[in-house]
Chain A
């Protein structure tokens, strides 16, 4: 019988205690915000969409190799010695980056690509609203060169290499030393890593 009344008392009392807690919270200001109108302040280390500063990119492919998902795709063309390519820190660039795509549909925002970059040109920004209706639109191309320019660079290089090969051939013909086999002119050098 004692147990019976104790149960009733416990039920009533604990319910009232719980009600007191929730009633107090009725007057506590909300911790949520009205998202699209009010945006949260993001910390400086926020890891969201990647950005590549193409002026500084030297096409070294280290980020593509670090990516666990293989979503960074870099293609490069060798620059001619006559072309003066420099990063913002004045570092010499040996390659034209003809293609630099990142597939954000697959990106896992692990930041592993950011750390190996020698020029710190790839980094994560605080942009997090970039939904798309089509999956293809999430493949971002950061390369600044137009297709015509890429074509031009490629022909430039092949012309230059053909000229070089010709020169070499002429040299080797002039000096009858043990003739090296002339390497066929590789038009472009592409790198692809998956």
Chain B
């Protein structure tokens, strides 16, 4: 594990822990957020028969870097009517909430920020942080649009956590573990061992489970989409209604923090979906490292597969965003309480019965 490596290198637990915790931020989250923003622009552009950014670098791949540099230079505007401490704290809290979720995400078998036994539970809990940040931002902005956006966001995220957790319970019920690393290891081998295909066990129950697993996957994907405020559930920042919701009043680097948090969050939820249903970091077709007898190659391959799977779901999120209109607040709640939660519940019971067979 990387922690042991750094511990041996520096001989200090504190330094090793700090490096261990900062590693995903600088190696993964920031580059990913920058890449995802560029990807979003390109995907949207090509879906709309446009070209998107083309100036900075090859096909504009440095455009986001340029934008971040611009945002850093911008004036940090704080209006006199703002509640300053909360206003300053909110973007940090939102970012921290997102960042902390990465702690329990298993990137490879060799690197996991913190191999918690309550991994999934931790991620769900720590995502709640984001709600506090958003509420703070909306309240401290002292702007009616921001407040409406924040209220909507709080209601939305709390509601949609219920179907998410229901589906997680379904998985936990089958596997008996909350540890994401163990979950990923369970789904080793080939892609038919993934949870979406009924998990690693063979038998009649596996085939009975597949349709219900697909429904579970649909529910968790939709509800995580709502948790990260993406279209069709982007009503907290609904551009055409609330200008841009809770971050209307933010400028410069604070705005950038909201922005980066949103894109990091997109990957975080995709990673959870991947770990729960699509084998986490496991390769669908076996490892070249094992084939060649190079064990050090395996974690790199695992990182590749994990990122690829995560990116695919991020792409689908973008694809949905540039296809769908957005729901209204009450319809959003209807979709959650009348459709997702009952279905998730029925799904939980049916899968429970199937596992008993």
Contacts and interface: CB of A to CB of B under 8 A. Distances in A.
B47 A26 contact: yes
A26 B316 CA distance: 13
B70 interface: no
Contacts of B349: none
A20 to B, nearest CB: 9
Interface stretch (A29-37, A98-106, A141-149, A178-186): A29-37
Interface string B299-332: 0000000000000000000011011100000000
Interface string A2-44: 0000011000000100110111011111111010000000000
Interface stretch (B13-21, B48-56, B119-127, B135-143): B48-56
Contact of A18 (B46, B48, B49, B324): B324
Contact of A15 (B45, B49, B323): B323
A34 B324 contact: no
A15 B322 CA distance: 11
Contacts of A34: 51, 54
A19 B45 contact: no
Contact of A31 (B49, B320, B322): B49
B28 interface: no
Contact of A30 (B50, B319, B322, B339): B50
A32 B323 contact: no
Contact of B322 (A7, A8, A22): A22
A19 B43 CA distance: 13
B51 A30 contact: yes
A157 B46 CA distance: 68
Contacts of B46: 25-27, 30
Contacts of B54: 34
B49 A22 contact: no
Nearest to B232: A15
B339 A22 contact: no
Nearest to B335: A11
Contacts of B50: 30-32
Contacts of A21: 323
How many B residues are at the interface, by size bracket?
10 to 19
A25 B47 contact: yes
Contacts of A25: 46-49
A25 B49 CA distance: 7
A29 B48 CA distance: 10
Given A19-B319, A21-B323, A8 B47 contact: no
A18 B51 contact: no
B323 A19 contact: yes
Contacts of B324: 15, 18
A18 to B, nearest CB: 5
A59 to B, nearest CB: 48
Most buried by B among A19, A22, A23: A22
Interface in B88-141: none
B323 A22 contact: yes
Nearest to B46: A26
Nearest to A27: B46
A30 B46 CA distance: 7
Nearest to B316: A19
Most chain A beta-carbon neighbours within 10 Å: one of B43, B45, B47, B339: B47
A16 to B, nearest CB: 10
Contacts of A7: 339
A27 B49 CA distance: 9
Contacts of B319: 19, 22-23
Nearest to B321: A22
Contacts of B43: 26
28 contacts: A7-B339, A8-B339, A15-B320, A15-B323, A18-B323, A18-B324, A19-B319, A21-B323, A22-B322, A22-B323, A23-B47, A25-B46, A25-B47, A25-B48, A25-B49, A26-B43, A26-B46, A26-B47, A27-B46, A29-B49, A30-B46, A30-B49, A30-B50, A31-B50, A32-B50, A32-B51, A34-B51, A34-B54
Interface of B: 43, 45-51, 54, 319-320, 322-324, 339
Sorted nearest first, the 6 A-B pairs with minimum C-beta distance are A18-B323, A22-B47, A22-B323, A30-B51, A31-B49, A32-B50
Given A15-B320, A15-B323, 19 more contacts: A7-B339, A8-B339, A15-B324, A18-B323, A19-B319, A22-B47, A23-B47, A23-B319, A25-B46, A25-B48, A25-B49, A26-B43, A26-B47, A29-B49, A30-B49, A31-B50, A32-B49, A32-B50, A34-B54
